[in-house]
Amino acid sequence: MSQTLAEDEYNVKHVFNTLWIERIAKLVDNVNAHKADGALFVTREVGRVFHTFQYRTKFNLRDDVKNNAKARDLLKKGDEMFAPNVARYIEAAKHYNECIAFSKPGSEERAEAYLNRSAVSFKLKRYEDCLVNFRLAHGTNQAARIVNLMKDRERMALDSLAYIISVPPNARRLQKHMNEFPLSSRTRVKTALELRKNDQFGRHVVTNCDLSAGQVVIVEKPFASVLKSYLRCVRCAFCYEERLFTLIPCEGCTVEMYCSQECMGKAYEAYHRYECAILRDMHRISVEYAWVALRTVATAIASFDHNLEAMKEHIERLDESSVNAFGMNWQTATAKDKYNTIHVLSSYQAHRKIYVAFAAFHANVIYHLLIDRTELRPICIVKPELRKLLFDLVLRNLKVAANNATKQNFFSYKVSEQSYRSEPYAHACFSMSSMLNHSCAPNVLKLALRGGRCAVVVLRPIRQGEQLFVSYGDCHKTAPRPARQRSMILFDNFMCKCVACKHNYKTLKQSIDATTNFENSIENRYISHVNNVIDSHDKFLVVSLISELKAYINTFDDDYPTVPLCLAHTAFARAIAVLHSFTSENADYWAFCKP
């Protein structure tokens, strides 16, 4: 079942490219977009074109409303997957979840979807989830009609759950979770880190003391993050926990689902009230970083107590040069303080007119959706200065997200390969880790944590006064210098001059090929053992490797970039991800159903 909402025909890039060729390119032909006044001219011209552009028709925009007929179709698809000769229970649960999202409150379709989802839970021996679905079905208007069936199934689930609880603890599957190093649940930054600025690097982060591999220097929550659409029927849209069998729907849209009323309420207060009516269209037509930009704008407005006038005054008075996420007390920081650290992040500075025009066009699409369908309309419609504020916020945060939004990964089990694979579950924008500069030989790594947080962990020893570097994409281990530099110029708009590029470090494959008889070496046998342990995802075994890898990296760092050290860095990064990132529960299902 494909869970993506994208419709290529209506994608904003596709529509813009046609408009660029037909109208916009001629209007800005002699403009230098690299200069501030040139970029402003392009933005204004795009705005004028947009006012005469039939965007609702071109994007096939439509209100997102509950639809019991659509829900009924999804219910049937779920039943087809649940049939004994098919037994694709996971796909069935996803269809039932989408049915629940589309169905009207109290409808027959929703009651049946909850009841059928309880049957899936029972088949997979998830008896507590089975009981949750009975309670949800009881809460619908259809409870009286299906009460006898619910009683029979509920009694079977309770009996099975009672049996499991009665089994001695040593016979149960152990919860394999250990922490090799503590990770705060709150935003924190090591006091050794300082934000500096110079002509060579611009803003950059250095340490005022020696750091060793394995030290955690930053733990932070994203200011805004968005679940990838293919997981919307699998994970909670707020806390990102995997809750395939117990999700409940937002009653205002057909996109967001949550693990609890608590998460739903928090999402609504934090941002969802401003995006609920337009989120499905955003997922249909926009690029993914635009979802982060929209959520950043919505969260920012909520941070100012939904007062655009106060927000406008604050931004006008803000001294951007004084904002320092590394000098801020995050435990006492206000929501406004936190937004300041996002507001000052570097934005993508396009040198070509077409990119400037596309950003302006995309911003117009989002701005008009907000004005047309959300509660911002009555606030902005009578005050031109607030309409300008809203558009400027959207445009600025589109550029910030394009430059800073990063993927948050989790481990998904691939039954066909019988192994775990790292895949993105969300896009997020962080304040502090976004300040780190790129190197193709990074000395820190960004680690996606459960709950949507991010940690920055030292990968190689860093001496006092040295800068912290992270990799934005390929590093020298995985790609040769020409490929890396082409990628940097294309996607990040700069030529990399890091130590790996300066000295033309070899890729790991090139280094291994140049090493005599490496395949039979002690180092290769050890790293093969390490990789097998990591691939097992047995956290008890993985945690025991981390101390060994840290000790090796810290002891032999002067030899970098030797093959053993590069392999140790890769293994260390994978090992701590296994310990601290989300791992899907889906590996437990395949004993009971077909993939």
**What is the CA 16 to chain-centroid distance, rounded?**
26
- Residue 487's CB: how many other CB atoms inside 10 A? 15
Indicate the pTM of the whole model: 0.91
To the nearest 10°, report the CA torsion of 152, 154, 160, 162: -120
Average pLDDT value for residue range 289-303: 98
Q: What is the mean pLDDT of the chain?
A: 89
- What lies within 8 Å, CB to CB, of 199 at 6+ separation is none
Model pLDDT, residue 483: 94
Tokens 């209007």 found at: 27
Comparing 164-168, 373-377, 452-456, which segment has the lowest mean pLDDT? 164-168
Cα angle for residues 445, 447, 449 (degrees, 5° grid): 165
What is residue 521's predicted lDDT score, i.e. its pLDDT? Answer: 86
Residue type, 395: L
Contact 440, 482 (CB under 8 A): no
Which pLDDT belongs to residue 141? 62
Least confident of 154-163, 425-434, 491-500, 558-567: 154-163
**What confidence tier does 346 reach under pLDDT thresholds 50, 70, 90?**
confident
Residue 242 has pLDDT above 90, yes or no: yes
Q: How far apart are CA 33 and CA 20, in angstroms?
A: 15
Q: How far apart are CA 108 and CA 102, in angstroms?
A: 12
Residue with tokens 């069998």: 245
Percent of the chain predicted with pLDDT > 90: 72
Q: Which residue has the higher pLDDT, 247 or 168?
A: 247
Report whether pLDDT(588) > 90. no
Flag whether pLDDT at 62 surpasses 60: yes
Decide if pLDDT at 80 tops 60. yes
Q: 144 pLDDT band (50/70/90 cuts)?
A: low
* C-beta separation of 192 from 211 below 8 A: yes
Q: Tens digit of pLDDT for each residue in 361-401?
A: 999 999 999 999 999 999 999 999 999 999 999 999 999 99
Cα separations in angstroms, 226 against 201, 285, 407: 30, 16, 10
Helix 108-123 vs helix 89-102: crossing angle, to nearest 10: 160
- Does the pLDDT at position 174 exceed 70? no
| Confidence grade of residue 4 (pLDDT, cut at 50, 70, 90) | confident
CA distance 223 to 489: 27
Q: Which domains does the chain have, with CATH numbers?
A: 68-166 (1.25.40), 188-221+430-585 (2.170.270.10), 226-405 (no CATH)
Band of residue 460 on the pLDDT scale cut at 50, 70, 90? very high
Residue 272: phi and psi, rounded to 5, are -70, -25
- The 10s digit of each residue's pLDDT in 521-541 is 888 898 899 999 999 998 888
C-alpha R_g of the chain: 26
pLDDT > 80? residue 508: yes
What are the beta bridge partners of residue 429?
224
Query: What does the alpha-carbon distance between residue 468 and residue 488 come to, in Å, rounded to a whole number?
Result: 18
pLDDT in tens, 16-61: 999 999 999 998 887 776 666 788 888 999 999 999 999 999 999 9
Q: Which residue has the higher pLDDT, 586 or 207?
A: 207
- Is a pLDDT exceeding 70 seen at residue 562? yes
Burial of 266 (0-12, 13-18, 19+ CB in 10 A): middle
The proportion of the chain whose per-residue pLDDT surpasses 70, expressed as a percent, equals 90
The model's confidence at residue 446, banded by pLDDT at 50, 70 and 90, is very high
pLDDT at 518: 84
Residue 145: per-residue pLDDT: 58
The pLDDT assigned to 182 comes to 52
pLDDT tens digits along 265-286: 999 999 999 999 999 999 999 9
89-124 tens-digit pLDDT: 999 999 999 999 999 998 999 999 999 999 999 899
